[in-house]
Structure 1
Amino acid sequence: MSTYKLYYFNARDRAEVSRLIFATAGQKYEDIRYEYNEWPSHASEMPLGEVPTLELMAGLCLPILGLGTGFYGINNEPYGTYPECGSEPHGDPPLPPPPGCGPNAQKAVYTWLSKAGGLRLDCANSYYNQQSVARGIEQSGVNRSQIFILSKVGPTFPLGFNETIQQTLDILQELQTTWIDLLLVHWPIMQHPGQSYVPKSTDPACNTTNPLTYNEKQCRLSTWSAMLALFDLGLVRSIGVSNYNITHLQEIIDAGMPLPSVNQVSFHPYNYRTGRADLLAFCQKNRIQLVAYSPFGAADAHQFPVEDQNKRTTSLSRTLFEDPVITSLADTYKRTPAQILLRWIYQLGVASNPHSMNETHMVENLEILSNPFTISDADMIRIINLPQDTCDIDPDWYQCVGNGTLP
């Protein structure tokens, strides 16, 4: 077993993170060395009562169901229309919120915590609503120690060592908390180069404006180094990634770095065989907990530049809620289609982040655990064998099987 000594590329980077943390959070940096895949004891199990959890590599307990807070609404850019919006003014000068937006994230978080009984919140700086999330937490009256907060850095914000540190400090301020339970790198690269705005990084490996120094792989590793530093410092209790494929995870292994505790990806029956089955097996082999977003197959078109929408054309005209196999199983088990989908994901060993602003739907989602049922092996296979859609993300971002529809 090899020892990976520091996570910083040089003494200047180490001094910089120490300066940033000390100046902003008043915490003292200490060099911490430990064996590959062995985590310091400060990542202790969080008491969550009777809430069903999965234990992460770092020893932290992850509530199986979380509330997704990415309420995109009607985006200012022509990426499409979404039924709910929770974005807040952002930018310098601040951009106005999209039309129809309101304090929806606050309302959803309040309902999830105080009425539905959920505990995990899935946040991100690129959702532009973490201050609203903080207000919802305060309004709920639930003690911070009983809430599991997940947040993410990038991709509309620059990746890189110092950038990751600074974003995390900003997230702490926005969420009005002194720690984050699980911090993820939101995407393996920054904003898609085809889009009009690409964030600029001071990290040479992440500086997309300088082709002589820009290197996607080294940018990912530099960013992951910062994540490990934040973990060492105790500002985050566990760290992970999102939207990483197997080759991205293999880069971390090859660099001799501790692996992420979590990889969060879109995960549902229509994309299981085209890209998730192999990823799930790889993550389980390496003790990386897979977490599903878009568990109901909801489109994530906001990730695309308009000119790339043709890469995401679907051959499936129906939604998962309308799929005859799912509706038939809902009748058989006397459950809702959403409960069938969430239970299928759970029985595969995957946590999930359904998002809703409807209290009834929130409670129904949690009932797959509080009032459990078991989908038979034969019915699990029926769901696995559902038709497969085209790759849900540009293959430059996600690896998948082919670029067409499987039978």
Structure 2
Amino acid sequence: MAPSRGPAVTPRNLHKTLANHKGPVHVARYAKGTAKYVLSGGQDRTVRLWNPELGTEIKSYSAHGYEVLSITVAHDNSRFASSGGDRQVFLWDVMTGQTIRRIPGHMGKIFTVEFNEDATVLASGSYDSTVRLWDLRSQNRQPIQTLDEARDAVQTIHVGKSYIATGSVDGHVRTYDLRMGELRTDFLGHPVTAVVPSQDNQTYLATTIDAHVRLMDMSTGKMLNDFTGHASSSYRIRACFGHGEASVICGDEEGKVWAWDLVDDMSCPSWVLVRMLFDRPQVTDASDHQIERRHIDSARMYRNEEQVGQAVRESGIPRDEIFITSKVNNPEHGFGTALAAVDDSLKKFGFDYIDLMLIHSPLSDKERRLQTWKALIEAKKQGKVRTIGVSNYGPRHLEEIREAGLETPAVNQVELHPFCQQKEIVDYCNKHGIVVEAYTPLIRGKWDNKIVELAKKYHKDPAQLLVRWSLQRGYVPLPKSSNPDRVVSNANVFDFEISSEDMATVNAMDRGKDGAITWNPVDAP
């Protein structure tokens, strides 16, 4: 793989919503290079050209008789091709909006089209199980080659300099070496919806309809990593590499966007439905309320790990569908004591691993903080925890880790809401690719009139407005509730968007450290 060009800073703020299509949008593609436009295709049979900076539609392209399923953009951005349910490929002039060429020939829906490097050849993959290669320099109506090894619909194609990779519903990724005339097949066992090679063509991501994204070795077919947690059982989902190929990004069927660290396989959705920070008498009752994806935020300080483990086992939900966080308590700082704390937490939970282990606060001293962090690194190496992070750390505490040359925390969990926005901490975390988890995002119900009135404007309650504000700011909010109805209500935030003007109003509510309503030990010496 190509070397990373920087930290895996995944965009977390909603920039614009492009919303002129009538019905589902099946595909969106950015222009190549530095050009700044987006093409999208949908159920309404149109392709639309957008300015993503302004959020405005520039042009609409109409010729398809059925839904548009795939778009590919030429290297010079002067042309694009589209395909869909009408079994045809259309080649378009971007500026004029006119069709340059119509390419029939497939016997079923065309799920995918891709140009080669200089857009002289176009590849199309179809429900008819074939991949067809078309010479765009001639007007020959017949394909120059047909690849018919697939035994079911071809869902995805990638055209490299000397190879073509395809993914099929038959569960195979097929790589055709055009120079050697050889075919290599990797069997993944489930319908393949996307194949995305790395820049150096040494590996590729394969997305399959079994809720897995697999990192595969291109030459050997060996699986190098497996990314799970997202919902994918019915629809085509396409995963891709993030910035610098340091992360993996994909959407899912529940409306979430997932980001994993490419190496560490940290799986945490951009919005986790529920934080169940249980009081001990409420554990069993809360676990009985069925929610499809759970994040349980526990801690050794809360003394509830045994109850949480019991509740998880009694819920009947598979362990790998529940994201468990715990935290090393302040008196346990130090290498040996922190390692022992991890072991004790595993014993109390009754689990083989903990998804995310944090240092609960910086309340000791520099040396003990660093020794505690080294202990978490060691626990991660031993497979006892999947991902490690910190909580209540200010920039100075995070700098201690960086200056020591140690692994960067994946997460910093801090008190964060409109009254206490922790701007210096958020800026540091964004710069260094650290996920910001916001605890107490609902301000414990201490809402002023502005928040209440804004919520009414959007026909939402204040808690929903505050969760939505956190999401649009790019945080992972952790709303606490043991009330099942309130848990569901807090997650009902994807059917509205706070305007930029109203976001500015909420942003202006910051009182700095004076706005904190919990212990907030981010300035500990």
TM-score range for the pair, normalised by the shorter chain length: 0.5 to 0.7
Tell me whether 1:332 sits opposite 2:332 in the alignment.
no
User: 5+ residue gaps in structure 1?
Assistant: 2-40, 72-85, 88-102, 191-215, 299-318, 401-407
Larger Rg: 2
CA separation of 1:224/1:42 partners in 2, compared to 1, >3 Å: closer, same or farther? Answer: farther
Q: Once superposed, what is the RMSD of the aligned Cα atoms?
A: 2.5
- The corresponding residue for 2:272 is 65
Paired residues for 1:366-405 under 5 Å = 366-368=491-493, 371-386=494-509, 388=511, 390=514, 392=516, 397-399=521-523
- The corresponding residue for 1:178 is 352
Distance 2:315 2:301 in 1: 24
CA shift for structure 1 position 48: 2.7
Distance 1:247 1:138 in 2: 40
Which of the two has greater helix per residue?
A: 1
Tell me whether 1:285 sits opposite 2:491 in the alignment.
no
- The corresponding residue for 1:124 is 299
Secondary structure of the residue that 1:237 maps to in structure 2? strand
Paired residues for 1:143-154 under 5 Å = 143-154=318-329
Question: Are 2:419 and 2:515, in contact at CA under 8 Å, matched by a contact in 1?
Answer: no
Question: Are 2:415 and 2:518, in contact at CA under 8 Å, matched by a contact in 1?
Answer: no
Instruction: Give the TM-score normalised by the residue count of structure 2.
Output: 0.50
Choose from 142, 145, 150 the match for 2:317: 142
Distance 1:124 1:66 in 2: 19
CA shift for structure 1 position 54: 4.3
Once the two structures are superposed, what CA deviation does each residue of 1:139-177 show, in whole Å capped at 9, x if it has no partner? Answer: 21111111111111112x421111111111111111111
Large movers: runs of 4+ above 6 Å: 393-396
- The corresponding residue for 2:259 is 55
**Aligned-residue identity in percent:** 31
CA shift for structure 1 position 122: 0.6
CA separation of 1:396/1:183 partners in 2, compared to 1, >3 Å: closer, same or farther? Answer: closer
- The corresponding residue for 2:441 is 295
CA shift for structure 1 position 284: 0.7
User: 5+ residue gaps in structure 2?
Assistant: 4-222, 232-252
CA shift for structure 1 position 67: 3.8
CA shift for structure 1 position 374: 1.1
Higher RCO (C-alpha under 8 Å, 6+ residues apart): 1
- The corresponding residue for 1:358 is 483
Distance 1:356 1:364 in 2: 10
Question: Are 1:66 and 1:352, in contact at CA under 8 Å, matched by a contact in 2?
Answer: no
Paired residues for 1:235-250 under 5 Å = 235-250=384-399
Instruction: Give the TM-score normalised by the residue count of structure 1.
Output: 0.63
Distance 1:165 1:42 in 2: 28
Q: Give the total of aligned pairs.
A: 277
CA separation of 1:329/1:395 partners in 2, compared to 1, >3 Å: closer, same or farther? Answer: closer
Question: Are 1:66 and 1:122, in contact at CA under 8 Å, matched by a contact in 2?
Answer: no
CA shift for structure 1 position 65: 2.2
Code of the aligned partner of 1:65: V
Distance 1:47 1:252 in 2: 29
Question: Are 1:60 and 1:238, in contact at CA under 8 Å, matched by a contact in 2?
Answer: yes
Which of the two has greater strand per residue?
A: 2
Once the two structures are superposed, what CA deviation does each residue of 1:49-104 show, in whole Å capped at 9, x if it has no partner? Answer: 14525425433221322544445xxxxxxxxxxxxxx24xxxxxxxxxxxxxxx21
Code of the aligned partner of 1:172: L
Code of the aligned partner of 1:161: F
Once the two structures are superposed, what CA deviation does each residue of 1:321-372 show, in whole Å capped at 9, x if it has no partner? Answer: 3x2221112111111110100010011110011111111111111122xx43
Code of the aligned partner of 1:264: Q
